[in-house]
Chains A and B, each alone.
Chain A
Amino acid sequence: MRGDTGHPVRLRFSKRGPVRFISHRDVARAFERAFRVAEVPLAFTAGFSPHPKISFGPALAVGYESDAEYLDLECTEEVDETRWTAEVTAALPEGIAVTRVAPLADRAPSLQEEISVLAYEVVLGGIPADAVGPVVADLLGRASVEVTVSRKGEARIDDIRPSVLALHQPRPYEACVVVEVATRPRTLRVVDVVHGLRAVAGDAWPIEESRVRRTYQWIERGGARHEPLDVDRRSDARTLEACA
């Protein structure tokens, strides 16, 4: 976001329940309408066809829930936090809620450039809870796990193992894994992680993804992980004090 004369802001929002079936593009449109209903003073691009300066983080697949989605936008004046969390949330579809806000520094790098780790909780089907642990351990123990992935409509064999940054079963009584994936060189998709688990499990378990929730997105800088709201905060006098 170029600050220039405006007030850039980063929002975190959740997407839970039936609304998880709407697409990334639908979410963007819903936000644009909600900003107008809540009369948020949006800054517009100059030019022949002006549009509001809004940019989203990495897309969430249709059908996935999330506790941690982000968007950056620019306003023409300062907006206090409850306006975002209460009024904008009220104007959004049920299940989408703005949960936190932070003022953003001028010319902060975009979410798309900066987000490097995505974390998901994936409920699995086709495998009992007590069989998950060994499959996870097996996958982590391998140097490479090749699966057929579809990229731009073309099938190709990829080694997913380098992009699986962490994988564990959070609760022993549930067929569920928490996975952290890298967004570079390209974002590893959850569906391909599940394919990897199935490849490792062989014929034993027809593992499939049953329900997926994105739990975190991280920005790595200087060897440390940061919550996207906590990096690139505006630190000058215009900081929103409310955003602790």
Chain B
Amino acid sequence: MSNLWPRIESLLPRVEKPARYIGMERGSVRPEHHPGKVAWLLLYPDAYEVGLPNQGLQILYEILNERDDAVAERSYAPWVDLEAEMRAHGVPLFSVDTHRAAGDFDVLAFNLSAELVFTNLLNCVDLAGVPVRSAQRHPEHPLILAGGHCAFNPEPLADYVDAFVMGDGEEVIAEITEVIGAWKRSGRAHREQVLHDLATVPGVYVPSMYDVEYDGPRVVGVTPRYPDVPAVVDKRTVADLAEWPYPKRQLVPLVEVVHDRLNVELFRGCTRGCRFCQAGMITRPVRERPLEQVRTMVRDGLRRTGYDEVALTSLSSADFSGIDGLVGGIVEEQTATGSVSLSLPSLRVDAFTVGVASEIQRVRRTGLTFAPEAGSWRLRQVINKLVTEADLYAAVDAAFSQGWRRVKLYFLTGLPTETDVDTLGIAELATNVVDIGRRYTKGASATVSVGGFVPKPHTPFQWFGQNSVDELRRKVSLLRDALRRSPAKVRWHDPEASFAEGIASRGDRRIGAVIERVWRAGGTFQEWSEHFSLGRWLDAMAAEGLDPDWYVTRHRTEDEVLPWDHIAAGLHRDFLWQDWKAALAEHGLPDCRWTPCYDCGVCTGYALEHVVAANVPPAGGSQGTGQDLATGHSVPVQLLPAGARPRSGGTGARVAG
């Protein structure tokens, strides 16, 4: 088949950062294609430097290439300069591994991590020479698949993606390969046939196998067209991460990328129960990787990649059982062999976590980031981010007293029940944080980062009407005014981008045509402020006769069919609705790892259980233990002995071996 390299090579001297397109990363492979093997092209529809580090894509790349019946290569969205050259010279989308034309693969599988990349998916399909609409594709065209967190509302791309995969991909990818392999061997006669077969694989949703019924603007039903196609598609969940120690050969890029370091996943899932957080809701239950496996992955990974930094990733890394022992061990082992820095990308807000951070960051203590998310205790109970002011101040005090000079604070604005008291609370917290810092160092600073809240499917806030652009703008100005004389700096996310994200986040099948219009009008790379314009989205909505406010700012009702109701992340709809009501009543909900099960539906529905190395809560801070801490800078940090007896009462947790 075609190797496009000579043609690509002649275009590269004319574009920015040409090394994004050469492949050759340490850990990459040049697989041997064969008619008997299913050829996967794994795509991340954003710039190489954003997509390359994606762990999900790297895991599937390895697993597929280890199989006898599959090969996998990678591709990323070409930046606008190369795209223009490619279109001018008739060069199609290509893989970076062997520079093979995307159209020569059997499957183009997209990772969807954010809604604003949807237009890039269409652009990549088009650059591959494949019709963008599923209905216009023929048997010789590759199948277009998509997975990742945004697949949990597949409807906006339902007319463009042949099949969506829900949840963890490690296991289901084998079943999909077998279905496509069989179709290939049978001569690829009818596309409908392979799509129907895919629709019967658990975890796979094939939108063309379902009819959507509307009543005016409302979706009133989504029904399968065949009896063997499931009415509700459940996500896939890997029960035990220990069986999947991937990536074993993390890719080492030749150019700088985001998260440019060794990344080792500590656990998947999170039961903190933050009500705004889709990732936490759809990845339940908590599944920890055994401590020894983490150590091995860190040791081997550092040796193989040559990185001098490792990040222990997960949704709340400090919650990993025995995190302090783990980081202590890694730091000791690595200090012996050379200087390696360790990072925990998702710090919990308490002094214990800062203690862990200080152990791993013995040098270069410049900035630490905390995410209280809301400006008042009342609102933090609404969103179930149960961080007290005492927790925050203790964490910040610990940070400044141990040599950090800069603290970054992340907040959301536009949350349910939010009033100006809450918004001004952000300013007060930030001012107090700087005051605490100045007790230790004159150069202490705090940066407040504010993002506009976009309600997400499969969360208790899926019924909430998002704040309008004007309202978000007003709140940001209120905050800026309040901090005008303060040494704390404010940064904010563009409210217009949040609005566009809101259109796609809870959109139904009709939003697909809007995405196509935005793409056709040149709206690629919508995650990049220099390429984003809300005007394109509003024009497209108007052209399709759709009301943006109906999709974005409208509160949904309990009886309303939501466009993603036929997709299940395991959470009972009743549970989500109760949790939404609890939010409005300002009731917090404790973490079910360490308190009795409140039956959100995931463990019971899928016969799963939490896999944790110790079922005692982590030490330190009310967020960890539920204890109320005294205000001030002394924080009781009690390290519980390893292997402590499980508490009675049944937490539904299994101790990992």
Contact = CB atoms under 8 A, between A and B. Distances in A.
B255 A93 contact: no
B24 interface: yes
Nearest to B15: A21
Given A33-B305, A49-B363, 6 more contacts: A19-B19, A21-B19, A23-B19, A33-B307, A50-B339, A63-B12
B18 A63 contact: yes
Interface in A60-97: 62-63, 91, 93-95
A48 interface: yes
Given A19-B254, A48-B363, A93-B254, A34 B22 contact: no
Contact of A37 (B255, B304, B339): B304
Interface in A24-42: 25-26, 29-30, 32-37
A34 B316 CA distance: 32
Interface of B: 5, 9, 12-13, 18-19, 21-24, 26, 252, 254-256, 303-308, 338-339, 363-364
Contacts of B26: 33, 93
A18 interface: yes
Contacts of A194: none
B255 A22 contact: yes
Contacts of A91: 306
A62 B9 CA distance: 13
Contacts of B307: 33, 36
A32 B363 contact: no
A12 to B, nearest CB: 21
B254 A22 contact: yes
A33 B22 contact: no
Interface of A: 18-19, 21-23, 25-26, 29-30, 32-37, 44, 48-50, 62-63, 91, 93-95
3 pairs of A and B residues whose beta carbons are closest in the complex: A33-B306, A37-B306, A21-B18
A18 B24 contact: yes
A63 B15 CA distance: 11
A35 to B, nearest CB: 8
A50 B256 CA distance: 21
A93 B24 contact: yes
- The listed residue with most A CB atoms (<10 A of its CB), out of B19, B21, B303, B306, is B306
A18 B97 CA distance: 12
Contacts of B5: 18
Contacts of B338: 36
A19 B306 contact: no
Contacts of A22: 19, 22, 254-255
A26 B18 CA distance: 12
B339 A30 contact: no
A218 B13 CA distance: 27
B339 A94 contact: no
A36 B308 contact: yes
A104 B23 CA distance: 35
7 contacts: A33-B252, A34-B306, A35-B306, A37-B306, A50-B363, A63-B18, A91-B306
A96 to B, nearest CB: 10
B364 A49 contact: yes
Contacts of A34: 306
A93 to B, nearest CB: 5
A183 to B, nearest CB: 24
A123 to B, nearest CB: 12
A121 to B, nearest CB: 16
Nearest to B14: A63
A45 to B, nearest CB: 11
A62 B24 CA distance: 16
Contacts of A44: 339
Contacts of B306: 32-37, 91
B179 to A, nearest CB: 36
Contacts of B9: 18
Contacts of A36: 306-308, 338
Contacts of A18: 5, 9, 22-24
A26 B305 contact: no
Contacts of A29: 256
A94 B24 contact: yes
A26 B254 contact: yes
- The listed residue with most B CB atoms (<10 A of its CB), out of A26, A32, A48, is A26
Given A37-B304, A91-B306, A19 B363 contact: no
B22 A23 contact: no
B252 A21 contact: no
Contacts of A30: 254
Contact of B255 (A23, A35, A48, A63): A23
Contacts of A50: 339, 363
B49 to A, nearest CB: 12
A19 B364 contact: no
B308 A21 contact: no
Nearest to A38: B306
Nearest to A35: B306
A22 B308 CA distance: 20
Contacts of B305: 33, 37
A177 to B, nearest CB: 18
Contacts of A35: 306
Contacts of A26: 19, 254-256
A23 B255 CA distance: 8
Contacts of A48: 363-364
A34 B307 CA distance: 9
A143 to B, nearest CB: 32
A19 B18 contact: no
Contacts of B24: 18-19, 93-95
Contacts of A19: 19, 22, 24, 254
B192 to A, nearest CB: 41
Nearest to A212: B13
A208 B23 CA distance: 27
Contacts of B13: 63
A95 to B, nearest CB: 8
A11 to B, nearest CB: 17
B547 to A, nearest CB: 47
Contact of B22 (A21, A25, A32): A21
Contacts of A62: 18-19
A33 B5 CA distance: 27
A127 B509 CA distance: 56
Nearest to B303: A37
A29 B5 CA distance: 25
A95 B254 CA distance: 12
Contacts of A33: 26, 252, 305-307
Nearest to A37: B306
Contacts of B363: 48-50
A18 B256 CA distance: 17
A222 to B, nearest CB: 39
Nearest to B5: A18
Contacts of B18: 21, 62-63
A26 B257 CA distance: 11
A93 B28 CA distance: 11
A62 B252 CA distance: 20
Contacts of A32: 306, 308
Nearest to A48: B363
A21 B12 contact: yes
A19 B9 CA distance: 11
B5 to A, nearest CB: 8
Nearest to B9: A18
Nearest to B306: A33
A105 B19 CA distance: 36
A52 B363 CA distance: 15
A65 to B, nearest CB: 12
A197 B511 CA distance: 56
A21 B10 CA distance: 12
A50 B13 CA distance: 36
Contacts of B23: 18
A94 B306 CA distance: 15
B255 to A, nearest CB: 5
Contacts of B364: 48-49
A59 to B, nearest CB: 15
